Each structure stands twice: as structure tokens, then as C-alpha cells.
Amino acid sequence: QVQLVESGGGLVQAGGSLRLSCAASGRTFSENTMGWFRQAPGKEREFVAAISWSGRNTHYRDSVKGRFTISRDNPKKAVYLQMNSLKPEDTAVYYCAADPSSYGSSKDPQFEYWGQGTLVTVSE
């Protein structure tokens, strides 16, 4: 069983930065692909970024490439999303997700565990 708790959301002006954190429980965190998703009001949840169990491989949706950076700290069982140059269209609830398989591919993860989400609001 994996539990995920996000933090770090808030209100920020366009062009600003936020760093989201996700604290994970579970014995196999260091073996799991982790990801971030977001859901804007009235829209479907969408993939934002993923990071392999080792941290060596990362993947991003096109609209956040060059602005967002996903990272992880395995000893601390934490994953982060550094968001820079934020835009109003980045406004959403951001969710942390975990693929419970060990040493799985970060290109095609099967996320099964989700946090409760943290709200990011970017004003004009």
C-alpha cells in the first residue's frame, strides 16, 4: 500500500514559481516510477511529468517542457515538481501518482496510487 501527500500549492502571479512536494509511504518507493498530473476546472486530468525509479529518466508534457522540473529524493521518499514561469493556464489541482511495479518503465507507467491533490492558482 502506498500513501501520497502533496503540498506546496498556492496562489502565484504569472511568471512566478512554485515547488510542489509529494511525501510517500511504502517500502518500495525507490523502485517505483512517480508522476505528477493535474486537473483544471471543467477539464480532464492530464499527465504533467514522470520520473523513473532511479531519477535518471524524466518525461514531460510538451506545454511544460523547459518550465517544470520533476525530481526525487529516494532516501526521503519524496518527489518534487519545480514550476517556473507559471502561466494562468497552469491553474489546476496537481496530483502525485505512483506506479507500484518495481523497476518499471517510466515511458509507460501504470499509475495506481494517487494523492489528494494540491491547488495551484496562477493569476494574470
Quick check: 121 and 8 in contact, CB under 8 A? no
Least confident of 23-32, 40-49, 54-63, 115-124: 23-32
**In angstroms, rounded to a whole number, what is the distance separating the alpha carbons of residues 120 and 91?**
5
Distance, in Å, from the CA atom of 91 to the CA atom of 54, rounded to the nearest integer, reads 29
pLDDT, tens digit, 9 for 90 and up, residues 42-52: 999 999 999 99
Is the pLDDT score of 114 beyond 90?
A: yes
Segment 51-106, tens digit of pLDDT = 999 999 999 999 999 999 999 999 999 999 999 999 999 999 999 999 998 888 88
